[in-house]
Amino acid sequence: MKHDSADSRKTQILALLVRARGGWVPLPEILKVGGAQFGARLYEIRHRLGLKVENRKEHHSGQTHSWYRLQTGAPIDSLFGDLTPTRYPD
């Protein structure tokens, strides 16, 4: 069984946001990598790393839908470089 530390989940959420290149990432995608404590990981990204993560919410038929994105101009490239996944030919 794979054990994911809080730092690992934070890194995975951050990589997801970076790959979106300023686009909105739906909450279900963040939950897949960040788990139930995604809010704590976003807090760490915002407050410990100093990055600006925006949140957007919409309400439809009694349900709330949320998305997150790195704010334009966030200095992510200088911190982590290119996080684009490497693809190898089959």
pLDDT in tens, 20-71: 999 999 999 999 998 889 999 999 999 998 899 999 999 999 999 999 999 8
Nearest-angstrom CA–CA distance, 35 and 47: 19
pLDDT of residue 8 exceeding 70, the answer is yes
pLDDT of residue 3 exceeding 60, the answer is no
Long-range own/partner contacts, residues 52-55 (CB < 8 A, 24 or more apart) = 53/17
Nearest-angstrom CA–CA distance, 24 and 8: 21
Break the chain into its structural domains and give their ranges.
Answer: 6-71
- pTM across the whole model: 0.72
In this prediction, residue 1 carries a pLDDT of 38
Going by CATH, does the domain composed of 6-71 fall within 3.30.70? Answer: no
In this prediction, residue 32 carries a pLDDT of 93
